[in-house]
Amino acid sequence: MNIILSENDASFKWFILGTATFVTMLYAMAVTIAAIALPDMRGTMSATQDQITWAITGNIVATAIFTPLAGWLATRYEIKNILLFSVLGFMFATFYCGISDNLEEIVFARFAQGAFGAPLPPLCQTLVLGVFPQKQRSLAMAVWGMGTILGPVIAPTLGGYLGELLNWRWVFYTLIPFCIIALIMVIITVPIYRNKLRESFDWIGFIFLAISVASLQIMLDRGERNGWFDSAETYIELFICILSFYIFITHSLTYKRPFINLNIFRDWNYSLGLILIFFFGMLNFVPVVIFPTILQELKGYPQSIIGLLMGTRGLGTFLGFLIMAFAGRLDPRLSLTVAFSLQAYAGWYMSTFNIDMTFYEVGLASFIQGIGVGLAWPPISVLTFTTMNKNYYSEATAMFHLIRNLASSIFIACCVAVVLHTGQINFGYISSLVTNWNEGIILNLAPENMNNLSEVTIANLTKELNRQSLMIGYINAFKLFACVSIITIPFLFLIKKSGEN
């Protein structure tokens, strides 16, 4: 897809870019904002820890199912109308999240929020790619990427403050003014593009791809609570995922007008770009998910302080985007190497933390990781579509965001598993050292307490052992983060710049 603006309207593309950035930020804010409200929501709805997490799972599953649908919608309807419908539906779903009084209502509302919000990032990216020429896309992607990356940083900061000041419902009500502004911006700035294509809808391809992606997301989200492959549920979900994906592939290869045109994968840069965005997605959200847990559970920081620390990542990301806005003409392989090297360094630096980590250390690590994110996003977004046929932009961007979301879910699940499993192993090892013959224990406890330990002393000692063992688990997750960053670098030199054979 390519939107052609007249010479008089050429400057209007910057207003379109602003709208696309803001709308994408709106979607990105909703991805993580509910995590702040989960403890309070659990109390209001009298739900267990396992039940309330469906408020997160429902949104993830809906996003995974409906993201690929954006490509087909863009070939049938005007992007402006789709954006208006999606933002309006997103706003009502968000309001319903705030007024929900039981578990069923909040899960349904979050599913609807994910369904209406899923088309927003790929359609906004399609819009930006369509109005900007090749030489300006690096700058455009840097600006648009701010919405994708800064949303999950702004949401916890603002939502955490309002959640403490008022109640958990205002975490969702916070998004309503942003929705209204987004609607006004879409109405004013987005042009009407008359698409001549009227592709028929491949229901079989869509249904089986949706089933495959949804079952994978549910397996990843519930795997740790179910004990992974110790549970029959995991095997069932994995079987459904593989079978549905097999049917989707075989159907797409034989059907004349498949839901996802597999010809897009013949483009070398696009296929390589999907590999890079997969690694990028793995690295992007893990610190956002892990750091709040460390700071809250192990350090006891309030939500407002945690939000400020997460904000340092946003500052780093902004600096990275600013650098790429001026260095967009450099060899992208160089900038991406620097970006993933910074990610690796941030992972290594975080792996040196201990239970007494300081505010400065956490903020610095988040800032460095944010710079790496800001340097990586624009060149990946541009290079992936450098040689792509413009007729495939809509479905190509949908697949691009689907891969990124899947990668985030997979790696978050892996890191959580590493934290818990290695934490349990180390708890067993450390607790075995707590004996009457351990000189460190003897020196820290009075002699009379060694012979008559009270229940309070034992409870406090157990709590401290749990803190220390969990910290080791988080350190191992950070080491895994650094390894993935390093593994990505060799793929960067397979990129072909425009004009290369």
What pLDDT shows up at residue 4? 44
Strand ranges in 203-302 using DSSP code E only, listed in sequence order: none
The residue that leads in pLDDT, 496 or 391, is: 391
Flag the least confident range among 183-197, 278-292, 432-446, 485-499. 432-446
* 3-state class (DSSP) for residue 93: helix
* 3-state class (DSSP) for residue 354: coil
51, 103 contact by CB (below 8 A): yes
When pLDDT is cut at 50, 70 and 90, the band that residue 10 belongs to is low
pLDDT tens column, 238-272 = 999 999 999 999 998 888 888 888 888 888 888 99
Which residues, including other chains, have CB under 8 Å from residue 403's CB and lie 6 or more apart? Answer: 274, 277, 278, 281
The two structure tokens encoding residue 440: 């460190």
* 425: exposed, middle or buried (Cβ count in 10 Å: 0-12, 13-18, 19+): middle
411: left (phi over 0), alpha (psi -120 to 50) or beta: alpha
Write down the pTM of the prediction. Answer: 0.79
The whole-number average pLDDT for the span 149-168 is 72
Q: Which amino acid is at 90?
A: F
- When the pLDDT of each residue in the chain is averaged and rounded to a whole number, the result is 80
What pLDDT shows up at residue 36? 66
Q: Which pairs from 38-42 meet CB under 8 Å and 24+ separation?
A: 40/163, 40/167, 40/168, 41/106, 41/168
What pLDDT shows up at residue 276? 92
152, 28 contact by CB (below 8 A): yes
* 3-state class (DSSP) for residue 215: helix
When pLDDT is cut at 50, 70 and 90, the band that residue 2 belongs to is very low
Among 351, 309, 378, CA closest to 144: 378
When pLDDT is cut at 50, 70 and 90, the band that residue 210 belongs to is confident
* 3-state class (DSSP) for residue 2: coil
d(CA 32, CA 122): 19
When pLDDT is cut at 50, 70 and 90, the band that residue 183 belongs to is very high
* pLDDT above 50 for 336: yes
* pLDDT above 80 for 169: yes
The percent of residues in the chain predicted with pLDDT above 70, rounded, is: 84
pLDDT tens column, 383-427 = 888 888 777 777 788 888 888 878 887 887 788 888 888 888 888
What pLDDT shows up at residue 6? 42
* pLDDT above 50 for 7: no
The residue that leads in pLDDT, 344 or 394, is: 344
Highest mean pLDDT among 78-92, 185-199, 311-325: 78-92
d(CA 501, CA 496): 7
* pLDDT above 60 for 501: no
